[in-house]
């Protein structure tokens, strides 16, 4: 299967994205039995990721909860085991802001499992705190320090390095796990060819707050070289850019691997209550909370639909919005040249890791 052969989706307006009608596909009710399937969910310890893991485990999947803090992961795993009465959930250590850690996590996964049916690239960060080094590769250490202790809105205004996690870390993880995904798709281990999925949790911010140029390449340079561009963009635009990156990488995955049995879908999960606002200034967080009114039980619907529904298997290369509706992504997200340029940029960043 290559990219989606469905008729093009109709445009869902931004009002409807923010305040969606009642879902027609529901979780956990409409999630099928997942016995025999292995899922890897990044950022599964809280928020949308944790609830996604809970439903998958309840539906008999084997789940790897991949996150950076073992302590926080164990709390989530205990909670999920208690609430579902099932225990097929396992911790995988990964820091997506450290490419060496991403490789280690992928290698550990591959030492444990020969198959992977669904990878859910869920982890994300909204305005990382302006404290110290942001990444193990030393992106912008000084800038982080500058922001610390500056004006009250500093972390809201300037400090966002989400791109590291959202499209570079996830890009690398997906690529490292691709041989396992393809082996699963071919049925080399099970004897049964099947479609496998890569689900990328992006955001409507990929359109609403991305830079008007799409990707501002100067802001992706390492260290001080990127500061002027980053300051000009502000954290809001950098977050939008990182989410645009996820949509672009997802559609490039669809194009490159769609005919080998990989279904790649990106999505906006809806505005839901989670820990995502933890780095925002409290006043800004309070305002945003007034808009993000939905419980996380609704916020998992779109991810679970993309990751488990039969219908989504037809949607390779598509972008979904809340709750589990096909959506037309932004113009930049549909730009094939930008897609390829970003893919190449990612390739260059991960070389040597
Ligand atoms: N909630 C919304 O309204 C909304 C709207 C649009 C899009 N989204 C997207 O939905 C996804 C899930 O967000 P959420 O709302 O559930 O937020 P959340 O509660 O803050 O969860 C984010 C998860 O990402 C993990 N994470 C962050 N940095 C990481 C790193 N370097 N390495 C590994 N894991 C890392 C966090 O782990 P720690 O606990 O260790 O930090 C946490 O598990 C994100 O991609 C977010 O951008 C959410």
Q: Is 18 in the pocket of ligand 1 (CB under 6 A)?
A: no
pLDDT above 90 covers what percent of the chain?
65
Residue whose CB lies within 8 A of the most ligand 1 atoms, among 124, 167, 199, for a mutation test? 124
Residue 97, pLDDT score: 80
Average pLDDT over residues 134-151: 34
Strand 38-42 to 118-121 pairing: parallel
Residue with CA nearest ligand 1 atom 17:
276
More confident residue, 140 or 126: 126
The CA distance from 186 to 182, in Å, is 6
Q: Is 279 in the pocket of ligand 1 (CB under 6 A)?
A: no
Write down the number of H helices and E strands in the chain: 14, 8
Q: In angstroms, what CA-CA distances link 337 with 5, 249, 320, 333?
A: 21, 12, 22, 10
Residue 75: pLDDT over 80? yes
Strand 262-267 to 38-42 pairing: unpaired
Closest ligand 1 atom to the C-alpha of 49?
Answer: 16
List the catalytic residue out of 64, 243, 250, 274: 243
* pLDDT, tens only, 228-271: 887 788 777 888 888 899 999 999 999 999 999 999 999 999 99
The CA distance from 223 to 137, in Å, is 10
| 163 given a catalytic annotation | no
List the catalytic residue out of 4, 128, 155, 202: 202
Band of residue 339 on the pLDDT scale cut at 50, 70, 90: very high
More confident residue, 286 or 183: 183
Residue 73: pLDDT over 80? yes
More confident residue, 156 or 188: 188
Least confident piece of the model among 43-52, 129-138, 164-173, 184-193: 129-138
Q: What is the distance in A from the centroid of ligand 1 to the CA of 185?
A: 28
Could you tell me which of 346, 165, 187 has the C-alpha nearest to residue 256? 346
Could you tell me which of 321, 308, 191, 312 has the C-alpha nearest to residue 254? 312
Provide the greatest CA pair distance for the chain. Answer: 60
Residue 85: pLDDT over 70? yes
Handedness of CA 209, 4, 269, 177 (dihedral sign): negative
The average confidence (pLDDT) of the chain is 86
Residue 311: pLDDT over 90? yes
More confident residue, 60 or 128: 60
* pLDDT, tens only, 165-185: 567 889 999 999 999 999 999
Residue 90, pLDDT score: 98
Q: Is 271 in the pocket of ligand 1 (CB under 6 A)?
A: yes
Q: What is the distance in A from the centroid of ligand 1 to the CA of 246?
A: 14
> Reduced to 3 states, what is the DSSP secondary structure of residue 200?
strand
């Amino acid at each position: 299967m290559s990219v989606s052969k469905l008729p093009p989706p109709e445009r869902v307006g931004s009002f409807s994205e923010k305040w969606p009608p009642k879902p027609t596909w529901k979780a956990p009710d409409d999630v099928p039995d997942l016995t025999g399937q292995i899922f890897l969910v990044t950022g599964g310890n809280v928020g949308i990721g944790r609830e996604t893991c809970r439903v998958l485990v309840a539906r008999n999947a084997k789940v790897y909860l991949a996150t950076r803090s073992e302590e926080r992961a164990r709390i989530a795993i205990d909670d999920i085991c208690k609430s579902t009465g099932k225990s097929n959930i396992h911790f995988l250590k990964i820091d997506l802001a450290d490419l060496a850690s991403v490789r280690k996590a992928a290698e550990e996964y591959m030492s444990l499992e020969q198959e992977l049916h669904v990878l859910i690239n869920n982890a994300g960060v909204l305005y990382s705190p302006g404290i110290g080094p942001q990444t193990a590769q030393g992106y912008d250490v000084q800038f982080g320090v500058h922001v610390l202790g500056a004006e009250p809105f500093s972390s809201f205004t300037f400090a966002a390095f989400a791109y590291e996690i959202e499209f570079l870390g996830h890009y690398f993880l997906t690529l490292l796990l691709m041989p396992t995904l393809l082996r699963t798709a071919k049925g080399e281990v099970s004897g049964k060819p099947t479609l496998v999925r890569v689900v990328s949790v992006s955001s409507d911010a990929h359109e609403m707050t991305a830079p008007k140029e799409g990707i501002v390449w100067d802001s992706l340079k390492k260290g001080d070289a990127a500061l002027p561009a980053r300051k000009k963009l502000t954290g809001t635009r950098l977050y939008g850019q990182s989410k645009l990156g996820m949509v672009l990488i997802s559609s490039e995955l669809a194009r490159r691997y769609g005919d080998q049995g990989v279904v790649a879908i990106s999505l906006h999960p809806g505005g839901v209550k989670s820990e995502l606002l933890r780095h925002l200034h409290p006043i800004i967080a309070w305002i945003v909370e007034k808009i993000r009114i939905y419980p996380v039980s609704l916020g998992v619907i779109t991810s679970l639909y993309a990751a488990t529904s039969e219908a989504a298997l037809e949607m390779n290369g598509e972008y979904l919005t809340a709750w589990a509706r096909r959506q037309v992504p932004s113009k930049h997200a549909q730009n094939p040249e930008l897609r390829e340029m970003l893919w190449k940029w990612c390739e260059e960043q991960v070389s040597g890791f």
